[in-house]
A and B are shown apart, each in its own frame.
Chain A
Amino acid sequence: MALRELKVCLLGDTGVGKSSIVWRFVEDSFDPNINPTIGASFMTKTVQYQNELHKFLIWDTAGQERFRALAPMYYRGSAAAIIVYDITKEESFQTLKNWVKELRQHGPPNIVVAIAGNKCDLSDAREVTEKDAKDYADSIHAIFVETSAKNAININEVFIEISKRIPVADGAGGTSGKGFKLGRQASESRRTCC
């Protein structure tokens, strides 16, 4: 079985729960005694997808405005980006849209984008409707899920969806039809490997 390492970066405002999502995702495989991961800003988890193993290398980014400009260092070379917003904070959804635009322009082409509306356990305080977010995600062909890191809702699903959309390893680098389109897909001839 082939092992593929997939770099995934986490984007989104500070406080929306980026690292909680990762923590939740990796917690069942996380054992500080054996696998001394330094902290939640970089974590890995390997999952099986069809006949491949996908090892997610999850790069967290600092969401504060002041560090915003450092993000390209982190998302460069990513196979996927998970952009997280807080369903109880409209502002974080606007920030998300900016991230999408930035990724379109500066991010790796064909990067798989997943949008995660976190804190869906707090639906009383909801400011962003699921429909709005879903429509937006559809319009940019992004994966969309509402998650709750707190209650472990839809966390694995985000990564499963990412696995599905990652282009197959062989076959001249063909991309999934559902992939996030950046409007400037690389030409097929160019992408033939070596």
Chain B
Amino acid sequence: MAVHSQVNGTTAIPWRSSRRKLSLLEQLKGCQEAWCPGAPWDREGAHAAISGTPAGSFLVLRDSVTSQPILLCVSAGGENGAVLDYNIGNKGTVFQLNDSRLSFSDLAQLVLFYSLTRDVLAVCLSIPRWIYSVTDKNKDRLSQLEPDTWLSPPEQQTDEMTNRELSNVMCSIQLTSTNGALCIINPLYLREHGDDWLTHRASTTPCSTQPSNYRRERRLSTTRTWAGAGLQSKRAISLDQEPSAAFMESSGLTRARSADSPHCPPAPSTPVAPAGVVLRRPSQDSASRLPHRASTGSLQPSPPSTPGSLNCAASELQCHGSPVPQSPHRVSWIEDGVWLPPPRPSSLLQPPSLELDSLSISSIEEEQDFQMPSPTPHHPSAHRLADKVIHRLSAVGQALGGLVSQKKRLTNRVQELSERRGGAFAEAVKGFVEMTLKRGADPDGVTGSEFLQEVRSKLTSLRDTLWDLPEIQALLDSITDLSDPAIDSLVELSLHKVALKPVSAHLYSCIRTSRTNDGCFERLRSNLRVLEQNGVEELGGSAGVGIPDSVSLERIQQRWTAMHDAYSPNKKVQILLKVCKSIYHSMTANASSGTVFGADDFLPCLTWVLLRSDVVTLQQDTDYMMELLDPTQLQGEGGYYLTTLYAALYYISSFRPRLAARQLSVEAQHSLNQWHRRRTLHCNQSRRSVHRRTIRRQMCRVQNSETGTESKEESGRENAADQSQLQTESSTEALQPLREETGRGQGGEDQSQTSTPVLDCHQQEVIQEDRQEDRQT
């Protein structure tokens, strides 16, 4: 296909004629003097000019001395004509809003970006409509514009320019949230060449023959790699300015695919549509045919094998498109999962018919569910197809969009699958629920952490079952703008809803039984009475550290309640983080600036708060979270604060005024070691051979190093006498295989060195006991 091969080279792109549309970025640059005026404009002047203009109207002001852009003034709209100021930081050649971490290599890119997504702004910047109509021919006019014109172009001029050029306004800005490409497709190309470049590949590479596992793996491996795709790219944004971006990206995609997938023959001459792309601005043309857009159903996809069918295009995208390769156009977000799609920009200056759609092309595959027999014409006119693509995207975009809906779709689908009569997943869930309810009800059965560990292990295998369902895979593959951890977390959450929710009350009663039996609650209650009068300083905090006031404390109590009520451990941890944040806030409220409070102060403060809370319930919640949380969550912030909560509760429950902390360490270490080991094991067991190499590698390293310890230890010296002497004292916990614990058995002579200088005899005994227990295993 000659046309297609042209597309790959930037030099041969057909629309690059003198009459081509300027990209919006070029247009913005062209009239930069209008929106970023020079000397005479100061803040007051700008405010006066902006005040009363529609929301999003803006000007950028330069410093009077350095001429560097320093302030972005944005109209908030409304009747009072409020104007918001945002400072612009300028580090070397990089521009950014001071409140944001997104950096841009020039001002026009910054403005363009914030016209699409507001990020830290209150409203999206609004770019006057008439600017879309500027072409090469009339671009000289841009440089003559002045701020007043920029803010309120004369009606005449607008109409004139718009009328003349309206039919050519085809600038589609596309933006995704995490792989974040901002690219511009020139629909002129679609018009000229149709869209069989979209469908062509589907016939040469049937998606259905692709092993689903391979697909998943590829998605994981490639996105994983990007997740770390360079610190630089995480901070710098590169907005594309060539209309050919999408196609250049496509060729990049081809390369990337051929590099990591032997299943997919490289086809460098065939462009592939960029996937994971969100159309934000349908063209004027599509908007002008608005009536068509409502009839989503009339555009029925045909079976994927039919050439020319849109569904095929969708499959194609799903097949090849999901992993958008690293490209200069990428906008990488700072922290995976932090960013949520902002509300869609609504700008009064946009033409009213211009609907702002937000959708992922690849999510069209959703519609495979609604397959209809009506075949698409085999060789439709290119023009029609081009329109169809646009219409289709717009229509789908109305139904979908953003993370929230993806999450919802996943949750709904999982729910549906769990209720599907006779389905493998439904059966597995049913079995899990029945078994769990039965197991804990047995009075002689295990009710404690061991039981919860089993539950976690079953949850993990349920999740594997879920992952292996083609429907879920397809759905997950369509989510291109989330990081892997975020997707894992989504899957986990949907699973909690169907599997954990029905049993959570029962699990709590098991925890209660177990903790009542082991005396933990009793210890907590009695030590609470001993400790509750202690202030933060008596608990070890430093003098300057603040504590929550009564209002904050009340709020914290409400959050504890919410945490208790949540059934998902992930959700609970999120609430815990909120509590920790408010504690931190109280700690630093009165502190002099520059004081850094770390764990030295946080642990005492958290303990102080716990002493004023329902520790018995919190202990149950902590057990629930620790045992049921997804193992991959453990090293991060949630894991840290959960560990700290666990530690603080342990400190309270094992507090002995005379015996310093050493004794509690025995229990705490046991418990935590067990917890950690189990998670490590589970993580390895789950989907051992599949896909998750990057995560796996990490986990394996932990596990293997631990088993390595064991092997070494087995041959190490042992203190046999101590062992026999103390064996009988071991708790039930110690009877469990605490493999990594064996690493501690170093013989009694070491302990005086390890222990703190002021240990009394009792403590040393306890340590020995601890070690002996380890050795038993």
In the complex, chain B residues 731-758 whose Cβ is within 8 Å of any chain A Cβ: 743-744, 746, 750, 753-758
- A14: Cβ under 8 A from any B Cβ: yes
Q: Which of A126-134, A135-143, A152-160, A181-189 contacts B (4 or more CB under 8 A)?
A: A181-189
List residues of chain B with CB within 8 A of the CB of A67. Answer: 540, 603, 647, 651, 661
A120: Cβ under 8 A from any B Cβ: no
Q: Are A73 and B701 in contact (CB under 8 A)?
A: no
B661 contacts A18, CB within 8 Å? no
Contacts of A185 in B (CB 8 A): 708, 712
Asked if A169 lies at the interface with its beta carbon under 8 angstroms from chain B, I say yes
Q: A1-B230, A47-B231, A67-B661 are in contact. Are A40 and B597 (CB under 8 A)?
A: yes
Interchain CB contact under 8 A, A70 and B668: yes
When the two chains form their complex, are residues B596 and A20 in contact, meaning their CB atoms are under 8 A apart?
A: yes
Q: Which residues of A contact B708 (CB under 8 A)?
A: 109, 185-187, 190-191
Whether A101 contacts B753 by the Cβ 8 Å rule is yes
- CB contacts under 8 Å to A, within B230-261, are 230-231, 234
Please tell me if A50 contacts chain B, counting CB pairs below 8 Å: no
- Closest CB-CB distance, B756 to chain A, in whole Å? 6
A66/B600 contact (C-beta < 8 A), A48-B230, A109-B709 known:
no
Question: Is A186 in contact with B697, judged by CB distance below 8 angstroms?
Answer: no
Which B553-587 residues have a C-beta within 8 angstroms of A? 577, 580-581, 584, 587
B267 is an interface residue with CB less than 8 A from chain A: no
B: interface residue count bin: 35 or more
From B13-21, B220-228, B271-279, B286-294, give the one contacting chain A: B220-228
Decide yes or no whether B169 CB sits under 8 A from chain A.
no
Q: Is the CB of B596 within 8 A of A194?
A: no
Q: Enumerate chain A residues within 8 angstroms of B697, measured Cβ to Cβ.
A: 169-170, 193
Report yes or no: B101 in contact with A35, Cβ–Cβ below 8 A.
Answer: yes
Cβ-based interface call for B48 (8 A): no
Which chain B residues border A59 with CB–CB below 8 Å? Answer: 640, 643
Contact partners of B404 in chain A: CB under 8 A? none
The answer on a CB contact under 8 Å between A186 and B704 is yes
Complex interface: chain A residues within 8 A of B603 (CB): 41, 62, 67, 70
Binds A, one of B35-43, B383-391, B517-525, B669-677: B669-677
CB distance from A128 to the nearest CB of B (A): 17
Residues of B within 8 A of A33 (CB): 99-101, 120
User: Does B705 sit at the interface, judged by CB under 8 A?
Assistant: yes
Q: Which residues of B contact A186 (CB under 8 A)?
A: 704-705, 707-709, 711-712
A184 near B716 with CB under 8 A, answer yes
Known: A19-B597, A77-B635, A184-B716. A108 touches B604 (CB 8 A): no
Residues on B with C-beta less than 8 A from A10 are: 598-599
Contact B698 A5 (CB under 8 A): yes
C-alpha spacing A104/B769, complex, angstroms: 19
User: Which A residue's beta carbon lies closest to that of B662?
Assistant: A69
B700 CB-CB contact with A under 8 Å: yes
Interface assignment of B688: CB less than 8 Å from any CB of chain A: yes
In the complex, A166 Cα to B234 Cα: how many Å?
24
B600's partner among A1, A19, A193 (CB-CB below 8 A) is A19
B757 contact set on A, CB distance < 8 A:
98
Whose C-beta in chain B lies nearest to the C-beta of A13? B600
At the interface, yes or no: B335 with Cβ under 8 Å from chain A? yes
The reply to whether the CB of B229 lies closer than 8 angstroms to some CB of chain A is yes
B488 within 8 A of A: no
Report B91-130 CB contacts with A as 1/0, cut-off 8 Å.
Answer: 0000000011100000000000000000010000000000
Asked whether B696 is an interface residue with its Cβ less than 8 Å from the other chain, the reply is yes
Quote the shortest CB–CB distance from A179 to chain B (angstroms).
Answer: 11
Q: Which of B227, B598, B643, B754 contacts A19 (CB 8 A)?
A: B598
* Pairwise interchain contact B704-A105, C-beta atoms closer than 8 A: no
As a 0/1 sequence over residues 52 to 78 of chain A, the CB contacts with chain B under 8 angstroms (1 = contact) are: 110101011111111111101110110
Interface centre among B542, B587, B635, B660 (most CB of A within 10 A): B635
Docked pose: A59 CA to B635 CA in angstroms: 9
User: Is there contact, CB below 8 Å, between B228 and A1?
Assistant: yes
Q: For chain A, residues 1 to 39, give those with C-beta under 8 angstroms from any C-beta of chain B.
A: 1-5, 7, 10, 14-15, 18-20, 22-23, 31, 33-39
* Contacting residue for B335 out of A34, A39, A53, CB 8 A: A34
Additional A-B contacts beyond A69-B665, A69-B668 (19; CB < 8 A) = A2-B224, A15-B542, A38-B584, A39-B602, A41-B597, A42-B640, A52-B228, A57-B636, A57-B640, A64-B540, A70-B651, A70-B661, A73-B646, A73-B668, A77-B634, A77-B676, A109-B708, A173-B704, A193-B701
Q: Would you list the 4 A-B pairs with minimal beta carbon distance, nearest first?
A: A186-B708, A19-B598, A3-B228, A69-B665
9 pairs, A vs B, C-beta closer than 8 Å: A22-B598, A61-B599, A69-B669, A72-B672, A109-B708, A167-B701, A185-B708, A186-B712, A194-B684
